[in-house]
């Protein structure tokens, strides 16, 4: 591999290779619409309980209000995050993180890399942690967090979480000024493709969908459905007759519904039908689901409760 | 005399927490040492993003031996009590002393404690300081965090350096906290000199750090940044906009500051300077660089944490690109907002305020704007503003809350409104009101003086106060979620600094305080007392003036209070108050005893003593002077006239006895005292002054 990446996918592949070499399980994206890599159960749920864990993955993420019809150089309603989670947080996590920047061609004696205070909080997940946003030459390239609480539970032990905004990071490394102009595959490929070749069309369509198209009545109904289904799944008795009457709590299926509710709320927000006062109430409802799922997960085998 | 050096080496400490952390470390350690008998010569604390350090000079090698004498139970007390005393003192029975006491013989223990070596005390003190360190927010980390009692620190603590240095050598203090054993080792700059090295004392530590590209002293880093930035700008004919708070913050973000200066691309130079500065300062922590010839912001200074191999070219290039992206956003918002203003005006821009809830019991922002506009119209004539202009200004003053720029940069509220109003061709007074009606934002913020801004600013604050009062949402204790104390102080400062003659009770009612108007006025009086106390006026002086009519006119109230304070500072004033008090006391006693009020008017024909006649004459003269002075609101003149009574009152009390046997003369004298009291009370309620 040359010293610096030549394409968006090269950045991703280098991160995958690096974190694989660091001993992380390289997972695949979660197959649901989420607002950030943190929502992947490999982070949210696995940050809970005593069991050691190390995973890294790309997560397509959706932020409906950030749609700009593919025009804005930096904003997208669909983008990629690279997520690393290691529990317990290793003592040399900062060094390992800096190693990942070196792997994508950022030399810390040539670029100004800084850890700037940024306390992370997710009101919808009932989660918070302390850490930094990492700046490279004045640009935020990652979020670095020591999880203290998730779903209302203290993290014991604490996980270290790294989140890279892949488009922004890659644009910087590749020197692209507009995300749509960034090479997606190698520019020397027989069929070179830019980010725009792949995503301009969808950005346009989804921007219209998010702001004007989505049926708010349906979204509201689906929100209520997801909320009810999450509660219903968690209300089952713990013992499962078809699994030899052992405990078999449906924490993950319930959490899927929590993820759905969260994304539906984001869409409703983009459609502008949620007032300032209602907003808090909706966030509170999603948080209540996240907490209920966390409560369920910590009783499971993977959650260290069985 | 050993010197102590402590360094707590961690992952990056937030810049804003470092100043307080330095103070806390110094306080906790030095106090702990002194409490345990270790005095010291001097102490100094330092910080970088990755370390908190403390140097303490001149400790004794050990704490002094102490002797404590403790009284125990009586010698004939039950055996259990005596055993308890032995346990508590750690002595044996034969070591106790018997001494006679008033109630019989008692045991006494003499407890001698040998001095302890400094290292043991330091270990104890530092462990305590680390475990109880008052970080605003702290965290757990790593494998140890499985235990709820795990050590907490602001970010993961990586190593502890703790040594005592004497001429004989270096002693590592035996200490282990959260699995970290103290040593004599630290590290240099994260990238330039990451290897560990040992140090022998503070001077050695600071020197070695400097060779390892770390400047330990934050003040030195800040000074270096200011100096370098100034030099770099000057070399290009530019100047740095001074911003000591930002420089201090930057100094907390770098161990090895390297100043780099860049230019703002020409396509952004037409943006308002506040927009440029907000993008640069708040988001990038850049200092702004101004062209002294044009006064325009044309460049920026960024401070890197490394001396890059390419001289900082890549860093500067990266920072410039980030800034360009931010400013592109800002320009996009600016252009869109100007388009909205051009097509729909500011009223059109603010239309969306109807959808924004101000408070669920007080309606939307649009409802609030309508109320403020009505109130501004009412207030306008009282502050010399045109009612139409004031109402117009109030209607558009909050429109920018719906602009894209303020949506992205909330700190630009009001400032953008002013620019947009100017672009809409509105009168400058109306445009200024957009920016200035939020003022004053605090005790030291400037107070608007333009009448239109004043009218809207007052209307804004009075609406907030009156409406929250009406729904019972008053500040209590430390809880003031709607910043009503700030709004109250705002009303006070607007009235006083503009010399406004307002009837706040009427205005509070007009603003919707309804039955709570009196209570709101009392709140404003309380805030006024705090405000005047800060200016050195005694609270009882204010009370004496608050008791006078027209006290909802704060300007009048303060004029009276200032005159009274000045009067009391004179010899005449002090003595007159004594005379007044004497007259009032005698009168009050007589009135209580006789069950009547001596307010029939005294008659000079019953005057027996020349001093009595003189007092009549003096009162005639004083009253004649006080009445016109008061109607002219010349309180100083009224007080001067009152001061002229001092001599005659003193002479009167020296020469005559009020409670004489002659009932007629006595009654007349009491009526005369009543006249003194009434005359003085016209100026201020002197009875409320504290003796």
- Domains of chain B from N-terminus onward: 3-62+117-211 (no CATH), 69-113 (no CATH), 217-355+402-426 (no CATH), 363-397+437-531 (no CATH), 567-688 (1.10.730)
Q: What pLDDT was estimated at residue A277?
A: 63
Q: Which of A70, A60, A66, A75 is nearest to A30 (CA)?
A: A60
Question: Cβ A109–B306 below 8 Å, yes or no?
Answer: yes
User: Hey, is the C-beta of A279 within 8 angstroms of any chain B C-beta?
Assistant: no
Distance CA B524, CA B511 (A): 15
CA A304 to chain B, closest CA, distance in angstroms equals 12
φ/ψ (deg, to 5) at B602: -85, 150
Burial class of B69 by CB neighbour count within 10 A (0 to 12, 13 to 18, 19+): exposed
Question: Cβ B322–A146 below 8 Å, yes or no?
Answer: no
Burial class of B439 by CB neighbour count within 10 A (0 to 12, 13 to 18, 19+): buried
φ/ψ (deg, to 5) at B9: -100, 125
Instruction: Write the DSSP assignment of B374-418 as a string of letters.
Output: HHHHHHHHHHT--HHHHHHHHHHTTGGGGSHHHHH-GGGTTHHHH
Distance CA B539, CA B690 (A): 10
Cis peptide before B440 (omega within 30 of 0): yes
DSSP B353: G
Tokens of A292: 């209920």
Span A137-148, average pLDDT: 95
Scanning every residue of chain A, which has its alpha carbon at the shortest distance from the alpha carbon of B14?
A117
Start-end of H helices in B90-199: 118-131
Q: Which residues contact B187 (CB under 8 A, 6 or more apart)?
A: B9, B159, B193, B194, B195, B196, B197, B212
Q: Which residues contact B578 (CB under 8 A, 6 or more apart)?
A: none
Distance CA B126, CA B178 (A): 13
SS3 A47: coil
Q: Which of residues 71-100 of A touch B (CB under 8 A)?
A: 72-74, 88-91, 94
Distance CA B5, CA B126 (A): 11
Q: Count how many Cα atoms sit within 13 Å of the Cα of residue A58 in the half-sphere of its side chain.
A: 15
Distance CA B372, CA B479 (A): 25
Among B145, B192, B328, select the one facing A156 at the smallest CB separation: B145
Start-end of H helices in B95-159: 118-131
Q: Which of B319, B296, B327 is nearest to B405 (CA)?
A: B327
Tokens of A222: 């689906």
User: Hey, is the C-beta of A154 within 8 angstroms of any chain B C-beta?
Assistant: yes
Under the banding of pLDDT at 50, 70 and 90, the label for residue A160 is very high
Question: Cβ A73–B328 below 8 Å, yes or no?
Answer: yes
CA distances from A258 to A3, A147, A305, B231, B337 (A): 42, 20, 21, 57, 38
Answer yes or no: are the C-beta atoms of B452 and B436 closer than 8 Å.
Answer: no
In chain A, % helix, strand, coil (3-state, to 5) comes to: 40, 20, 35
Cross-strand bridge partners of residue A60: A80
User: Hey, is the C-beta of A110 within 8 angstroms of any chain B C-beta?
Assistant: yes
Q: Which of B295, B299, B293, B298 is nearest to B259 (CA)?
A: B299
Q: Which of A21, A138, A127, A126 is nearest to A84 (CA)?
A: A21
Question: Cβ B146–A148 below 8 Å, yes or no?
Answer: no
For the CA atoms of B640, B646, B652, B655, what is the dihedral angle to 10 degrees?
Answer: -150
Distance CA B25, CA B45 (A): 7
Instruction: Write the DSSP assignment of B474-533 as a string of letters.
Output: --BTTB-TT-HHHHHHHHHHHHHHTT----HHHHHHHTT-GGGHHHHHHHHHHHHHHHHH
CA B222 to chain A, closest CA, distance in angstroms equals 18
Predicted complex ipTM exceeds 0.85:
yes
Q: What pLDDT was estimated at residue B353?
A: 86
SS3 B235: helix
Question: Cβ B16–A117 below 8 Å, yes or no?
Answer: yes
Handedness of CA A242, A245, A248, A250 (dihedral sign): positive
Q: Pick the residue of A109, A117, A179, A274 with the most B CBs within 10 A to test the interface with B by mutation.
A: A117
Q: Which residues contact B209 (CB under 8 A, 6 or more apart)?
A: B186, B188, B215, B216
Q: Pick the residue of B15, B21, B142 with the most A CBs within 10 A to test the interface with A by mutation.
A: B142
User: Hey, is the C-beta of A139 within 8 angstroms of any chain B C-beta?
Assistant: yes
Q: Which of residues 600-639 of B touch A (CB under 8 A)?
A: none
User: Hey, is the C-beta of B265 within 8 angstroms of any chain A C-beta?
Assistant: no
SS3 A23: coil
DSSP A52: -
Q: What pLDDT was estimated at residue B420?
A: 97
Cβ count near B473 (within 10 Å): 16
Provide, rounded to the nearest whole percent, the portion of chain A with pLDDT above 90.
Answer: 86
Q: What pLDDT was estimated at residue A276?
A: 65
Q: Are strands A53-62 and A25-26 parallel, antiparallel or unpaired?
A: parallel
Q: How do residues A28-60 score in pLDDT, each as one tens digit?
A: 999 999 999 999 999 999 999 999 999 999 999
Distance CA B393, CA B434 (A): 7
Answer yes or no: are the C-beta atoms of B179 and B153 closer than 8 Å.
Answer: no
CA A89 to chain B, closest CA, distance in angstroms equals 5
Least confident range of A218-232, A235-249, A269-283, B576-590: A269-283
Cβ count near B125 (within 10 Å): 24
Q: At what angle do helices B646-655 and B571-594 cross, to 10 degrees?
A: 50
Give B360's contacts in chain A (Cβ within 8 Å): 277
Distance CA A85, CA A67 (A): 28
Q: At B649, which helix (H) or strand (E)?
A: helix B646-655
Give A119's contacts in chain B (Cβ within 8 Å): 137
Question: Cβ B191–A157 below 8 Å, yes or no?
Answer: no
Tell me the pTM. 0.80
Under the banding of pLDDT at 50, 70 and 90, the label for residue A1 is very low
Answer yes or no: are the C-beta atoms of B115 and B62 closer than 8 Å.
Answer: yes
Distance CA A95, CA A3 (A): 19
φ/ψ (deg, to 5) at B49: -55, -25
Scanning every residue of chain B, which has its alpha carbon at the shortest distance from the alpha carbon of A111?
B315
Distance CA B616, CA A191 (A): 113
Give A275's contacts in chain B (Cβ within 8 Å): 355, 357
pLDDT along chain B (691 residues), means of 10: 96 97 97 95 97 97 90 87 88 86 86 91 97 96 94 97 95 95 97 96 97 98 98 96 95 97 94 92 93 93 96 94 89 92 92 81 90 96 96 95 89 95 96 96 91 97 95 88 92 95 94 92 94 89 91 93 91 88 90 86 88 92 92 91 90 89 89 90 89 69
Question: Cβ A138–B319 below 8 Å, yes or no?
Answer: yes
User: Hey, is the C-beta of B145 within 8 angstroms of any chain A C-beta?
Assistant: yes
Start-end of H helices in chain A: 8-21, 41-44, 93-103, 166-174, 195-208, 216-234, 251-270, 276-297
Answer yes or no: are the C-beta atoms of B296 and B290 closer than 8 Å.
Answer: yes
Among B286, B319, B357, select the one facing A276 at the smallest CB separation: B357
Question: Cβ B142–A137 below 8 Å, yes or no?
Answer: no
Among A113, A137, A146, select the one facing B139 at the smallest CB separation: A146
Give B286's contacts in chain A (Cβ within 8 Å): 138
Identify how many contiguous H helices and E strands chain B contains and give both numbers. 24, 18
Decide if pLDDT at A235 tops 90: yes
CA distances from A166 to A85, A157, B533 (A): 16, 28, 57
Give B315's contacts in chain A (Cβ within 8 Å): 110-112, 137
Question: Cβ B145–A88 below 8 Å, yes or no?
Answer: yes
SS3 B316: helix
Q: At what angle do helices B244-251 and B218-235 cross, to 10 degrees?
A: 120
| Distance separating the N- and C-terminal Cα atoms of chain B | 55
User: Hey, is the C-beta of B282 within 8 angstroms of any chain A C-beta?
Assistant: no
Scanning every residue of chain B, which has its alpha carbon at the shortest distance from the alpha carbon of A110?
B308
Distance CA A298, CA A249 (A): 10
Q: Count how many Cα atoms sit within 13 Å of the Cα of residue B291 in the half-sphere of its side chain.
A: 11
Question: Cβ B325–A74 below 8 Å, yes or no?
Answer: yes
Question: Cβ B322–A116 below 8 Å, yes or no?
Answer: no
User: Hey, is the C-beta of B179 within 8 angstroms of any chain A C-beta?
Assistant: no
Scanning every residue of chain A, which has its alpha carbon at the shortest distance from the alpha carbon of B138?
A130
Q: Pick the residue of A53, A138, A271, A276 with the most B CBs within 10 A to test the interface with B by mutation.
A: A138
Answer yes or no: are the C-beta atoms of B395 and B378 closer than 8 Å.
Answer: no
Question: Cβ A154–B148 below 8 Å, yes or no?
Answer: yes
Span A277-288, average pLDDT: 87
């Amino acid at each position: 591999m040359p010293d610096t990446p030549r394409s968006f996918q090269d950045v991703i592949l280098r991160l995958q290779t690096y974190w694989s070499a660091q001993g992380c399980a390289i997972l695949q994206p979660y197959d649901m619409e989420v607002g950030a890599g943190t929502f992947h159960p490999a982070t949210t749920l696995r940050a809970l309980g005593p069991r050691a864990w190390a995973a890294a993955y790309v997560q397509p993420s959706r932020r409906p209000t950030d749609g700009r019809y593919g025009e804005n150089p930096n904003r997208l309603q669909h983008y990629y995050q690279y997520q690393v989670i290691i529990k317990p947080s290793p003592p040399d996590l900062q060094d390992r993180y800096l190693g990942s920047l070196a792997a994508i061609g950022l030399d810390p004696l040539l670029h100004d890399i800084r850890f700037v205070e940024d306390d992370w909080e997710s009101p919808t997940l009932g989660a918070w942690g302390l850490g930094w946003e990492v700046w490279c030459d004045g640009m935020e390239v990652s979020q670095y967090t020591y999880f203290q609480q998730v779903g209302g539970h203290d993290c014991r032990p604490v996980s270290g979480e790294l989140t890279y905004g892949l488009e922004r990071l890659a644009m910087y490394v590749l020197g692209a000024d507009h995300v749509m102009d960034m090479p997606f595959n190698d520019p020397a490929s027989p069929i070179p493709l830019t980010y725009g070749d792949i995503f301009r069309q969808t950005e346009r369509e989804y921007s219209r969908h998010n702001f004007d198209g989505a049926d708010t009545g349906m979204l509201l109904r689906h929100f209520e459905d997801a909320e009810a289904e999450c509660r219903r799944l968690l209300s089952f008795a713990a013992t499962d007759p078809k699994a030899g009457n052992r405990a078999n709590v449906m924490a993950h299926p319930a959490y899927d519904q929590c993820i759905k509710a969260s994304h539906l709320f984001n869409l409703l927000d983009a459609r502008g039908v949620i007032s300032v006062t209602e907003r808090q109430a909706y966030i509170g409802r999603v948080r209540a689901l996240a907490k209920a799922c966390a409560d369920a997960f910590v009783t499971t085998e993977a959650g260290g409760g069985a | 005399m050993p010197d102590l050096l402590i360094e707590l080496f961690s992952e990056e400490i937030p810049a804003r927490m470092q100043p307080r952390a330095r103070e806390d470390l110094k306080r906790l350690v030095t106090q702990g040492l002194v409490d345990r008998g270790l005095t010291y010569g001097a102490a100094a604390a330092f910080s970088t993003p990755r370390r908190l350090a403390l140097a303490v000079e001149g400790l004794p090698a050990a704490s002094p031996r102490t002797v404590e004498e403790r009284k125990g139970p009586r010698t004939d007390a039950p055996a259990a009590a005596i055993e308890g005393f032995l346990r508590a003192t750690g002595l044996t029975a034969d070591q106790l002393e018997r001494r006679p006491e008033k109630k019989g013989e008692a045991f006494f223990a003499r407890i001698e404690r040998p001095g302890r070596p400094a290292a043991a005390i330091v270990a104890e003190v530092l462990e305590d300081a680390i475990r109880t360190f008052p970080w605003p927010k702290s965290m757990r980390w790593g494998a140890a965090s499985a235990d709820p009692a795990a050590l907490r620190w602001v970010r993961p603590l990586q190593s502890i350096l703790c040594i005592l240095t004497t001429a004989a050598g270096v002693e590592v203090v035996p200490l282990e906290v959260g699995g970290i054993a103290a040593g004599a080792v630290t590290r240099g700059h994260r990238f330039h000199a990451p290897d560990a090295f040992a140090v022998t004392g503070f001077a050695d530590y600071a020197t070695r750090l400097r060779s390892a590209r770390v400047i330990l002293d934050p003040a030195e880093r800040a000074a270096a940044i200011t100096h370098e930035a100034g030099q770099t700008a000057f070399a290009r004919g530019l100047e740095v906009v001074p911003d000591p708070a930002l420089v201090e913050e930057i100094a907390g973000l770098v161990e090895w500051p390297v100043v780099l200066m860049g230019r703002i691309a020409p396509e952004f130079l037409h943006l308002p300077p506040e927009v440029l500065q907000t993008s640069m300062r708040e988001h990038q922590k850049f200092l702004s660089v101004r062209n002294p010839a044009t006064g325009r912001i044309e460049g920026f200074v960024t401070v890197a944490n490394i001396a890059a191999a390419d001289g900082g070219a890549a860093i500067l290039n990266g920072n410039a690109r980030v800034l360009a992206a931010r400013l592109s956003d800002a320009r996009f918002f600016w252009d869109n907002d100007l388009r909205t203003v051009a097509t729909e005006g500011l009223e059109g821009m603010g239309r969306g305020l109807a959808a924004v809830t101000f408070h669920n019991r007080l309606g939307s922002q649009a409802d609030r704007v309508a109320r403020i506009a009505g109130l501004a119209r009412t207030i306008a004539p009282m502050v010399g503003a045109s009612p139409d202009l004031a109402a117009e200004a109030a209607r558009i003053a909050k429109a920018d809350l719906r602009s894209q720029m303020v949506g992205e940069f909330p700190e630009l509220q009001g400032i953008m409104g002013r620019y947009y109003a100017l672009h809409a061709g509105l009168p400058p007074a109306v445009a200024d009101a957009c920016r200035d009606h939020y003022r004053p934002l605090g005790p030291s913020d400037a107070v608007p003086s333009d009448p239109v801004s004043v009218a809207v600013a007052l209307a804004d604050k009075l609406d907030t106060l009156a409406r929250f009062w009406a729904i019972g949402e008053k500040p209590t204790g430390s809880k003031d979620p709607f910043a009503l104390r700030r709004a109250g102080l705002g009303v006070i400062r607007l009235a006083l600094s503009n010399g406004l003659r307002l009837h706040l009770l009427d205005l509070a009612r007009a603003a919707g305080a309804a039955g709570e108007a009196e209570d709101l006025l009392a709140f404003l009086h309380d805030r006024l007392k705090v405000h005047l106390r800060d200016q050195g006026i005694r609270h009882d002086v204010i009370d004496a003036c608050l008791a006078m009519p027209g006290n909802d006119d704060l300007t009048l109230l303060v004029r009276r209070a200032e005159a009274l304070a000045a009067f009391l500072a004179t010899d005449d004033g002090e003595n007159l108050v004594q005379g007044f008090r004497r007259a009032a006391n005698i009168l009050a006693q007589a009135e209580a005893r006789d069950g009547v009020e001596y307010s029939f008017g005294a008659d000079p024909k019953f005057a027996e003593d020349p001093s009595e006649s003189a007092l009549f004459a003096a009162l005639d003269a004083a009253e004649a002077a006080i009445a016109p002075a008061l109607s002219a609101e010349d309180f100083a003149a009224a007080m001067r006239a009152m001061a002229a009574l001092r001599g005659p009152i003193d002479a009167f009390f020296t020469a005559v006895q009020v409670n004489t046997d002659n009932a007629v003369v006595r009654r007349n004298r009491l009526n005369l005292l009543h006249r003194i009291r009434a005359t003085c009370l016209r100026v201020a309620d002197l009875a409320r002054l504290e003796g």
